[in-house]
């Protein structure tokens, strides 16, 4: 995984014997090692989630049948999870891409979120107003717009309040962040304003003159680094965004789209 140029830090590079990550500037070899480990961790989490969703042998087992009657009688089928949704309202939303205002207006217009809720986290109490409806967020919350981080935190708060009614999916844009394969420029890339929300002073960071300078990250605080490094750290396996995604995927609260 390459040698350190600065002060070493063991975690999360335990799979690289004798090698360590560096705090601050990372060489290309370190970044490649980081991508491999994050991708491996994500694949393992996806595999565990997929296995957990497979039907058990008990669910697939058919009751004993009289073979002499099989031509005339319909074969009984095992119970399906979809049967539980019969008569239940299902709402799916996708590709909001950092537009928190539109997301709120949509959910409030659909009667899922109460009208008093705003982009202010202080209003995120008693959010749900959808009754027994099932809400599916199909991913691609991040990139393009400026509120990707806040939108995910809102959706997590909504799910924590109503876990039986809110199912969240990881879209391809979230997957690209988790595996460090996201675009750094262009329409589909994370906006500077969104990346600056991962620093301690977003307003100062968004200034064109200061955006290329070093900043203090929200988590972990550490030393002064480039805004892209703060963004990368947050979505890494040990960052506050990446860690939240992996924990929820492990619990089955988030799934791959």
- Tens of pLDDT along 48-102? 777 777 666 565 555 555 544 444 444 454 445 454 556 788 999 998 988 999 9
Residue 253 domain-assigned (yes or no): yes
> Exposed (0-12), middle (13-18) or buried (19+): which is 234, by Cβ within 10 Å?
buried
Mean predicted lDDT score pLDDT of the chain = 76
| C-alpha–C-alpha distance, residues 181 and 192, integer Å | 17
**10 falls within a domain:** yes
Q: Compare 85 and 47 and report the one with higher pLDDT.
A: 47
Name the 3-class secondary structure at 148: helix
**Residue 157 sits in the same domain as residue 102:** yes
Arithmetic mean of pLDDT, 169-181:
84
- pLDDT confidence bin for 134, thresholds 50/70/90: very high
In a domain, 2, yes or no: yes
Label residue 161 by pLDDT band (50, 70, 90).
very high
Structural domain including 116 reads: 87-257
- Do residue 167 and residue 232 come from a single domain? yes
Q: Please report whether residue 57 resides in a domain.
A: no
Inside any domain, residue 32: yes
The predicted pLDDT at position 61 comes to: 58
Q: Are residues 167 and 247 in the same domain?
A: yes
The residue that leads in pLDDT, 148 or 25, is: 148
Same domain, 154 and 102: yes
Calculate mean pLDDT across residues 156-184: 87
3-state secondary structure of 128: strand
How many helices (DSSP H) and strands (DSSP E) are in the chain? 9, 8
Question: If you average pLDDT over residues 180-206, what whole number do you get?
Answer: 79
Judge whether residue 195 has pLDDT over 70: yes
Residues contacting 171, CB < 8 A, separation 6+: 94, 95, 138, 139, 140, 141, 257
Range of lowest pLDDT (24-33, 92-101, 111-120, 157-166):
24-33
Q: Which of 129, 53, 127 is nearest to 89 (CA)?
A: 129
230 and 115, same domain (yes or no): yes
Reported as a single tens digit per residue, the pLDDT across 7-35 is 444 444 444 444 444 444 445 556 666 77
212/139 same-domain check = yes
Residue 130 covered by a domain: yes
Q: 97 and 46 in one domain?
A: no
pLDDT score, position 181:
77
221 in any annotated domain: yes
**Does residue 143 sit within a domain?**
yes
Same domain, 99 and 224: yes
Question: How many domains is the chain built from?
Answer: 2
Q: Is residue 162 located within the same domain as residue 244?
A: yes
Same domain, 43 and 117: no
């Amino acid at each position: 995984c390459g040698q350190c140029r600065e002060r070493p830090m063991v975690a999360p590079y335990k799979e690289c014997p004798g090698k360590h990550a560096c705090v601050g500037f990372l060489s290309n070899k370190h970044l490649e090692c980081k991508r491999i480990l994050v991708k491996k961790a994500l694949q393992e989490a996806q595999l565990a989630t997929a296995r957990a969703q497979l039907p058990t042998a008990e669910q697939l087992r058919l009751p004993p049948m009289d073979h002499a009657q099989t031509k005339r009688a319909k074969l009984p089928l095992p119970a399906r999870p979809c049967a539980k949704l019969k008569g239940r309202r299902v709402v799916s939303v996708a590709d909001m891409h950092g537009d928190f205002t539109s997301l709120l207006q949509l959910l409030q217009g659909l009667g899922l979120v109460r009208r008093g809720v705003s982009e202010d986290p202080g209003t995120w109490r008693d959010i749900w107003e959808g009754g027994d409806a099932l809400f599916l967020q199909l991913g691609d919350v991040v990139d393009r717009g400026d509120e990707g981080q806040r939108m995910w935190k809102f959706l997590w708060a909504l799910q924590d309040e109503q876990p039986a009614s809110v199912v969240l999916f990881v879209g391809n844009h979230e997957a690209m962040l988790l595996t460090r394969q996201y675009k750094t420029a262009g329409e589909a890339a994370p906006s500077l304003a969104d990346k600056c929300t991962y620093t301690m002073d977003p307003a100062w960071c968004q200034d064109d003159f200061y955006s290329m300078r070093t900043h203090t990250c929200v988590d972990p605080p550490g030393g002064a680094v480039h805004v892209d490094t703060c963004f990368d750290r947050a979505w890494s396996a040990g960052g506050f965004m990446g860690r939240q995604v992996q924990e929820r995927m492990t619990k089955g609260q988030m799934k791959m789209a």
